[in-house]
Every structure is written in C-alpha cells, then in structure tokens.
C-alpha cells in the first residue's frame, strides 16, 4: 500500500491512511506529505474521494463501514494498482508461486542499467531503489503480481513473466486446477503485441499459457528459448553460468545471490529483458549488480562463529530451494528455525513441510504466524515438529535464541525462515 500511496503523492494527489502502529514506512509516508493515522477509526474517513483497502481488511473494519455510510467509492489494492498500470504504455508484470520478488528486482536492476528509467513496485526492500518503490519518468512500469484471490486479474500488463505455478493459497483456491485457471486468465490479459516469458520446465505454467494471445517464450535449463548452461558454484555458493538464446551464447555471468533457483530466476529476467530489446551487455551488468533483497537469504551476522541467515521461504518448494542453496556453501551443521505462515497452508501441506524440513538436520519450530487467519485448532507447530525426527518446538523467541547460543558452533549456519516475524530472532542473536 505504501508504494501506491507514494505514486499518488508523486502525482500531486492528497493521500491519507491508517496503520496499526508507527513504523519507518509510516514515517516515510508522512515525510512525503501523507497524513497517516495510527489505529483504524471511523473518524479517519471524512471527505475522501476514494478509499483503498487490502485483502486483510474485513468488511466490519470501522473505516470500511464509515466509507460505505458516506457513499465513498471503495476499491481493493489490486484494482488500484491496475488503474495505475493503465497509465503506462509498457507494463511488465512478474507472476508465479515463487520467485516474484527476486525476478522483479533483477529486472529492475537491468532496466535501470539500460537507461529505461522505470517505475518499479516490488514486494521486498531493494537497496538499488532504496526500498520497495522507484518512481521513474518513462513509459515503463514494472511490478510483481500476487495470485491470491485472483488479484492479478485486475492488472493491465503489456508483457508478463510466469515463473512457476504450484499449490498455494488453498484457503482460497479449490485445487491446483483452479490455480492454473487463474494463471491462464492472467496470461490472457497480455495483448497480442506483447510477450509472455514462461518457465518451460513447469508443466502447470505451460498449461496456463495455452491459447495465449501474446507470443510465448520459454526459459529453463534445457529445451527452452533461453537457457542457463555450464553452471558452477563458488565455495560461498555463488553461481557462475552462461546464458544462451536459442542455442547461441549471449554472455557469461556470476551472481551475488546463491542457489540454483536464482540461476533460473536470472534466466527468466534475461529473457524478459531481451524481449524488451535490452542489450545483453546491460543484462549482464544488471544481474551482476544485484545483491539480493531484504529477507531473501539475507546474511545477518554471526553467533558463536555461526553464520545467521534470514529467509522469507514459507512454502515447501521455497524451503527446498533455500536448503539446496546452503548445500553449495562450506558449513558444518544447519540450525533451521522455521515459523509456518497461516494455518491453512500448514494444514494442507503438512506432509510436504515435514519431508523437506527433515533435510535441515536441526529443526526448531515456533508458533504458526496467523497473518489473516484465526486459530481454530486446525493445526499447530507442535504437530509439525512431531513429524520431523529430532525437531523441537519452542514458543518464545528469547528461548529460541538461548537454545541457539547453547548449541550452534563456529562453521555452522543458523537459518531463520518464514514470512512472519521470525526475522526478529536474528536481531536477538547477532550483536
């Protein structure tokens, strides 16, 4: 929401809003000219022309109720973002179950290197744009798109990237076929003169683009229009590889982010940039300038000589990618502190979580981060811990920090993982 607010402020529109507590984001918005209230209150709704809300805001929210009573137009965040996109001739949307933030960030670096001066909205904090928003002055708009509640169907992309399509958000979607159908609807939004860069190795993603009006181009490790080849890793886990276009080498590149999944992400960004007409030299420079986003395999410091890493992974596939990345780094033991995200995701994917977390060696589970949900007793982190040999459940973050200090040793890796406030544990461990 803060990104949308800043774009509106930049266009001379008066903006007010509310949040549950003070934060750096609130301070930034006030500095930019927004009026921000702390706490949701009907009194905050006066004579606004429009009220924008997120999916987390319920119908009984006092500000929603007040807006309805006053006859003020109400729209959700996705609809508002779609309205903004319509003002740009070239709007690139990055979609997928995993990797959206990283690929959007890579593309942002590439487009900036190429001098395209894009407006960028990304789901994480990116050093290269000093936050989650960059306001450019060109016809280019770049954003990641969320499939939850079919929100991305409210967008107006002229080009798209589809990274993967997997089972997630099963509190909303019926099954994987329902999810594929949603992504198909998204693919159909791209006009005939646009393009869709899609993961050729994802069967579900390829199903989603079937019948698309736009030109479909594939990326992957083999049998694709764009491929990553001759891949190797440094002792620190950083990959070096070649990007090939239809069998011809374009350039070689070394990333400053770890993992084979980021090789694939870089290949996706390279294909999209190439289809935009960006010179391969700029693509290479952009990828090599990218050093990751906040909460994506972010190195926080050390405790007892053990490296502390924080990662946003909260789906079994993402966890597997993170653990695979760690295997390419010289280390002794891994201490994985995982906070599941939402009860429905944990319940529906309980077996998958248990299977992949079992690879970590030493697993510490803390309570499920509820996000938009309520605890009905459906599932708990204790249940997940019971399915993983040697796993322990610890509720309190301070107790987790004490446990790590007693057990982690030099050469180990301590991994805090999840989409909730598990990131705070790193602050308790690292001086």
Q: Is 218 helix (H, G, I), strand (E, B) or coil?
A: strand
- Number of other CB atoms surrounding residue 229 within 10 Å: 15
161, 142 in Cβ contact below 8 A? no
Query: What are the CA-CA distances from residue 2 to residues 17, 86, 335, 413 (Å)?
Result: 10, 19, 34, 34
Selected catalytic residue, list 6, 63, 97, 100: 100
Which residues share a beta bridge with 126? 131
Question: Percent helix, strand and coil across the chain, each rounded to 5?
Answer: 35, 25, 40
Q: What sign does the CA torsion over 370, 376, 378, 379 have?
A: positive
Is the distance from CB of 313 to CB of 340 less than 8 angstroms?
Answer: no
| Residue for token pair 């266009």 | 11
101 is catalytic: yes
Q: Rounded to an integer, what distance in angstroms lies between the CA atom of residue 110 and that of residue 198?
A: 18
Q: Which of 101, 119, 317, 366 is catalytic?
A: 101
- Say whether 410 is catalytic: no
The active-site residue out of 63, 144, 298, 318 is 144
Residue 91: both structure tokens together: 């709007």
203 is catalytic: no
The radius of gyration of the chain from alpha carbons, rounded to an integer in Å, stands at: 22
Where do we find the tokens 């003070």?
22
Q: How far apart are CA 342 and CA 420, in angstroms?
A: 9
Q: Which residues are catalytic?
A: 100-101, 144
């Amino acid at each position: 929401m803060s990104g949308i607010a800043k774009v509106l402020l930049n266009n001379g529109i008066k903006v007010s809003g509310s949040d549950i507590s003070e934060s750096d984001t609130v301070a930034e918005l006030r500095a930019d000219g927004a009026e921000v209230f702390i706490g949701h209150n009907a009194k905050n709704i006066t004579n606004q022309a429009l009220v924008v809300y997120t999916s987390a805001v319920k119908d009984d929210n006092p500000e929603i109720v007040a807006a309805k009573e006053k006859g003020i137009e109400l729209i959700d965040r996705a609809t508002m973002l779609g309205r903004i996109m319509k003002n740009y001739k070239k709007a690139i949307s990055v979609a997928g179950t995993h990797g959206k933030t990283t690929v959007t960030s890579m593309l942002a670096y590439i487009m900036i290197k190429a001098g395209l001066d894009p407006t960028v909205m990304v789901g994480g904090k990116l050093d290269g744009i000093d936050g989650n928003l960059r306001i450019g002055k060109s016809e280019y708009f770049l954003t990641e798109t969320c499939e939850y509640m079919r929100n991305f169907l409210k967008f107006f992309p002229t080009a798209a990237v589809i990274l993967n399509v997997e089972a997630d958000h099963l509190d909303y979607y019926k099954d994987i076929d329902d999810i594929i159908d949603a992504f198909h609807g998204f693919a159909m939004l791209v006009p005939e003169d646009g393009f869709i860069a899609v993961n050729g190795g994802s069967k579900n993603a390829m199903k989603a683009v079937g019948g698309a009006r736009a030109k479909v181009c594939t990326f992957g490790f083999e049998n694709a229009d764009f491929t990553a080849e001759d891949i190797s890793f440094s002792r620190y886990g950083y990959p070096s590889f070649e990007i090939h276009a239809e069998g011809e080498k374009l350039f070689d590149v070394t990333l400053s982010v770890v993992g084979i999944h980021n090789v694939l992400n870089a290949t996706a960004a390279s294909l999209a940039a190439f289809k935009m007409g960006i010179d391969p030299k700029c693509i290479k420079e952009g990828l090599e300038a990218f050093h990751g986003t906040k909460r994506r395999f972010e190195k926080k410091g050390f405790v007892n000589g053990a490296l502390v890493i924080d990662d946003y992974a909260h789906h079994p596939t993402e966890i597997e990618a993170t653990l695979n990345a760690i295997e390419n780094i010289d280390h002794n033991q891994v201490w994985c502190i995982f906070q599941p995200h939402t009860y429905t995701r944990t319940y529906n994917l309980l077996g998958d979580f248990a299977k992949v977390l079992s690879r970590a060696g030493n697993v510490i589970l803390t309570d499920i981060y509820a996000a938009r949900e309520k605890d009905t007793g459906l599932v708990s982190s204790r249940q997940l811990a019971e399915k993983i040999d040697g796993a322990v459940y610890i509720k309190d973050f301070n107790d987790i920090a004490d446990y790590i200090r007693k057990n982690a040793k030099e050469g180990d890796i301590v991994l805090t993982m999840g989409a909730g406030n598990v990131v705070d544990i790193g602050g308790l461990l690292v001086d």
